A = this chain, B = another copy of it.
Amino acid sequence: MPRYLIRKIEQFTALPPDERRNLEAVARRRVIDLADGAELVGEGDRPPGVRLFLEGWACRYKSLADGRRQILGLLLPGDLFDLNLFLLDEMDHAVVALTPLVLAEIPRDALEELLAQSPALAEALSRDLLAQIAIQREWTLNVGRRTALERVAHLLCEIFLRLEAIGLTDGRRCALPLNQAELADATGLSVVHVNRILQQLRSAGLLHLNGRQMELPDLAGLRRLALFNPAYLHRARPAADYLRD
């Protein structure tokens, strides 16, 4: 059931029942499970078919020859990877599972048929692709111009809000399946420094960690610290107080 994608889409407008059924049918056709750490696709591979994340987290990343690695973005439940990607010759980046995954594989012809029959869905998916690009731009700004403290805080804000949009938060708590090495690769920092930044956030009362869960007791404060502007997520208008200025 592509319930997270539907939830994300229906922030804006309800999907017509027939389009919803079309999507559900396609997403049920070929469901696959992957283990934590599985590589969905490697740099240089032929692009895979479109995949819809039903459960679990993954990340896109690129590596340099000497081992430096940059995580480019997170793929969360409800995300599509990637509309039209099959048009490209080869993958310029890799994708790896951060947790066990449940994916729906959507072959190219099934996707084209689905989109032809579902104009509202097609528009929603185009919008979602643009929102993914906007996130990529924000990550460029994040690693390019924010300080270490701001970067980590910004990443945590983004994770919380993206999970909230699909109903995967519990009050101020949500999952955080990334270890410190992965946080470092996502923020362009060293593991050691990420460790010290997390301590700073904890001692400032902005973050509690236990296991693979995090709690953000003062999201408004964290947001201010991170210079976080949620506009780039292109969600529906914020209702929550911690998103107002």
A133 to B135, CA, bound (A): 11
Can you list 8 A-B contacts (CB < 8 A)? A44-B231, A70-B141, A70-B145, A73-B137, A84-B126, A87-B130, A93-B232, A145-B188
- Does A108 count as interface, using CB distance less than 8 angstroms? no
Q: How many copies does the complex hold?
A: 2
Distance in angstroms from A48 CB to nearest chain B CB is 14
The stretch that binds B, out of A29-37, A60-68, A164-172, A211-219, is: A60-68
Specify the chain B residue showing the minimal Cβ separation from A132.
Answer: B133
User: Contact between B145 and A68 (Cβ–Cβ < 8 Å)?
Assistant: yes
Q: B69 and A145: CB pair below 8 A?
A: yes
**What's the least CB distance linking A191 to chain B, in Å?**
14
Cβ contact within 8 Å between B146 and A143: no
Rounded to whole Å, the gap between the CB of A49 and the closest CB of chain B is: 15
Chain B minimum-CB-distance residue to A224: B65
